[in-house]
Structure 1
Amino acid sequence: MSWLQAIVLGIVQGLTEFLPISSSAHQLIVSRLFFGNDGGGAAFTAVTQLGTEAAVIVYFARDIGTILKHWFFSLTGKLPRDDPKAREGWYVILGTIPIGILGLVFKDAIEGPARNLWLTASMLLFFALVIAVADSTARQTKTLDDLNVKDGLFFGLWQALSLIPGVSRSGGTISGGLFMGYDRPSAARYSFLLAIPAVLTSGLFELKGAHAGDDGGWGPIIVSTVISFVIGYAVIAWFLRWISTHDFRPFVYYRILLAVLLFVLLGTGVLVAG
């Protein structure tokens, strides 16, 4: 991978990770269309996600610290087990289980056949409709104080769909939250927090593989990750402000247009599916 591609993919990762438009799809499309390769594969994508996840940790540092403190105090009996912040910590753990299990079971498929661009285009289109339905029918009557075991598990199952390129981690988790009655800011905030254990585990697990496949050493990986952190932080701040007063229609339209364009590029042979 060239330095230029690493920089471009870092920008793409930072811009798309937190929006419901699928960062893995964009990394795959940009790499194949402009650089003629897979951009380091699923391993490189997982590692550069460490940058955007670091942005989540920094942005939500106070919230994360509160959750961890309340969770620990609930273990030691200093706080009741049903303390809202303590429960939030437990539900993040619970919600991480589905993507952890499915990621291990289907690892070979995720890093191989699932990166077919026909599948990516189909998921971009299909999940545009899912997001549209979720957003238009959402009651938005619940906040994170209303989290329970069932909702925590279902949030995790929706997040697990993001293992398929084109779905979007935030798009899947937020859609699930809207279907369950949560308001947009709560669903988005929880999607970011829920992603932390899964992304950190996946990225650290793939570090060795990403380095082994990179002839340029650690340089391009580090640069790409740092860029994704800086841009990702700005996108988090913007996105949370946006959804407090807007719906998801612009992202739905964008996904549909991108899916149609991708179908055209594949059908005309400009892009090879995989």
Structure 2
Amino acid sequence: MDLLHIILLAAIQGLTEFLPISSSAHLILPSAILGWQDQGLAFDVAIHLGSLAAVVIYFYDDIKQLTICWSRSLFNDQSSPESRLGWHIILSTIPAALAGLIFSDFIELHLRTILVVAVTTIIFGLALGLADYRSSKSKGIYAFTWKSALFVGCAQALALIPGTSRSGITITAALFLGFERTAAVKFSFFLAIPIILLSGLYKVSQLAEQSEILWRDLAIGSLLSFVAAYVCIHFFIGLIDRIGMMPFVIYRLILGIFLLIIVINA
């Protein structure tokens, strides 16, 4: 891969993984619009692991506390708000994990098109705007129950469709349930950890079929994705209560219309 391609694709992954604008959609665009060669499975794994490292390091203290409390509830039956949140994160992960195992091949073959990305970008962008407008924003992150966690988890499964946005759909679902913006965003970030990890492990199992892996490209892509994701998380968390979701809704509508124009003129 050219260095320019590596830099751009890694930056796209890092910046869009945790914003409600769909990283998968943006990673499809360079090859679909600019005619770039597909980045390949190994590079895709590398940049996703870079994003995973960013969210783990940024929320290290929270993750450590959740893990300790969850372990105590598992082995010593010591329940706490943190342990219950840990269980809810696990529960929310199950629907997307199952859907990925069942439908990933079908989606890869039939839904990774510009038309699908355009439609889902617009539809779920409008859903995000509606959720942000109507939400009571009265619940903190520890107010999740097994029902609300399962609802957000089922919504997350829809993110397998390109253009939906994993972070976008989980934030949308949490907002519809009345959670604060910061709580919805933070829960979405926590959900990203097991999902990216499981997806990465699944893709790594497929790498055995590849005879040549360019380790330099992977290292550069992973590092750049990490930096971009870390910066993105920091500013997103800090600004979301002030700017709300409308800038992302507007961006999604513009992007979706632009993609529809491309499809029409193709």
Q: Which residue of 2 aligns with 1:239?
A: 236
Matched, 1:166 2:166: no
Shift of 1:161: 1.2
The question of 1:62 aligning with 2:61 is answered: yes
Q: What is the 5 A alignment of 1:54-203?
A: 54-77=53-76, 79-80=78-79, 83-203=80-200
User: Is the CA contact (8 Å cut-off) linking 1:13 and 1:23 kept in structure 2?
Assistant: yes
1:223-270 superposed Cα distances (whole Å, 9 cap, x missing partner): 21211101100000000111122211111111011111111112212x
Q: Deviations over 1:166-218 (max 9, x none)?
A: 01011000000000110000000000001111111111221253575585522
The answer as to whether partners of 1:103 and 1:163 remain within 8 angstroms in 2 is yes
TM-score when scaled to structure 2? 0.94
SS at match of 1:188: helix
- TM value normalised by structure 1: 0.92
Cα distance in 2 for residues equivalent to 1:73 and 1:64: 14
Residues 211 and 218, structure 1, Cα contact 8 Å, conserved in 2: no
Q: Distance in 2 between matches of 1:108 and 1:187?
A: 30
Aligned position for 1:40: 40
Residue 14, structure 1, aligned to residue 14, structure 2: yes
Correspondence for 2:50: 51
Contact 1:2/1:216, CA 8 A, preserved across alignment: no
Aligned-partner Cα distance in 2 for 1:143–1:181: 9
| Corresponding residue for residue 219 of structure 1 | 216
Q: CA deviation at 1:126?
A: 0.6
User: For structure 1, which segment, 176-185 or 256-265, has the greater mean C-alpha deviation from structure 2 after superposition?
Assistant: 256-265
Paired residues of 1:28 and 1:39 also in contact (CA < 8 A): no
What is the deviation of 1:3? 3.6
Cα distance change of structure 1 residues 213 and 259 upon mapping to structure 2, 3 Å threshold:
farther
Tell me, yes or no, if the aligned pair for 1:44 and 1:210 is still in contact at 8 Å. Answer: no
Q: Secondary structure at the match of 1:97?
A: helix
Report the alpha carbon displacement of residue 34 of structure 1 after superposing the two structures with TM: 2.3
Q: Confirm or deny: 8 A CA contact 2:158 2:169 kept in the other structure.
A: yes
**Structure 2: which 5+ residue stretches go unaligned?**
none
- Structure 2: which amino acid aligns with 1:267? I
- Alpha-carbon shift at residue 32 of structure 1 (Å): 2.3
For this pair of structures, how many residues does the alignment match? 266
Kindly provide the amino acid, as one letter, of the partner of residue 58 in structure 1: I
Q: Displacement of 1:31 after TM fit? A: 2.6
CA contact (8 A) 1:47 1:210 kept: no
Seen in structure 2, the aligned counterparts of structure 1 residues 250 and 213 have a Cα distance that, compared at 3 Å, is farther
